[in-house]
Amino acid sequence: MKKTNIEGMVYMCLTQERKKEIEQKANSFRQEADTEIDVILLAVSKGFMVMSANFPEGNADGGIIIKKEKGTITKQILVEDNLDSYQQRFIIAHELGHYALHYDQARISEKVTFLHMDTHENKTEAEQEADFFAACVLMPAQHFRELFEDLSSRIGDHKVIINILSQIFRVPIPAVMRRVSEVYLLEAKLNEQR
Ligand SMILES: [Zn+2]
């Protein structure tokens, strides 16, 4: 099984205002706030074909291609085949983040393709934005917080709680850990401003 560090980073570059904006975009992008979001169906509903790929080791673990040929726009998301399903879900949601946040349809032409491959070696601001978008799509804040608090009232062991949340939301454990701190950090900041 290949390793990816997609879920291992923090959002150093992003301001609270930008995060709030991304969260709102993610909420309207995903529409319903179910726990069990099918991220492939979500991508398909936005006109994407989702395909698995075998990237050379360490080269990439996902990508997005939007191109225009003979007047028709085709949209594809590629995801490394040799990753577990939780990682793949996160990567697909991350690519949708690039689509929702960084893609400009007006700039696409027969000559200009929107192409982005994710190596996840350097985490630029755009990468952090796409990761944050993915977390918002896969773990909507309010629902996430309710479940976290419910579990915390019944289970003492933090590790066990994180594990359960990882299984409920079907995302990698580090992504859950980061979401816990994000959701509470955001809340603390909002309270400060009140
Ligand atoms: Zn990316």
Residue with tokens 């019944």: 154
CA of 57 to the centre of ligand 1 (A): 17
> In sequence order, which residues have a C-beta less than 8 Å from that of residue 187 and are 6 or more positions away?
145
Q: Which residues pair with 73 in a beta bridge?
A: 68
Query: What domains are there in the chain, each with its CATH number?
Result: 16-138 (1.10.10.2910)
pLDDT digits over 108-141, tens only?
A: 888 888 888 887 676 788 999 999 999 999 999 8
CA of 127 to the centre of ligand 1 (A): 5
0.75 cut: is pTM over it? yes
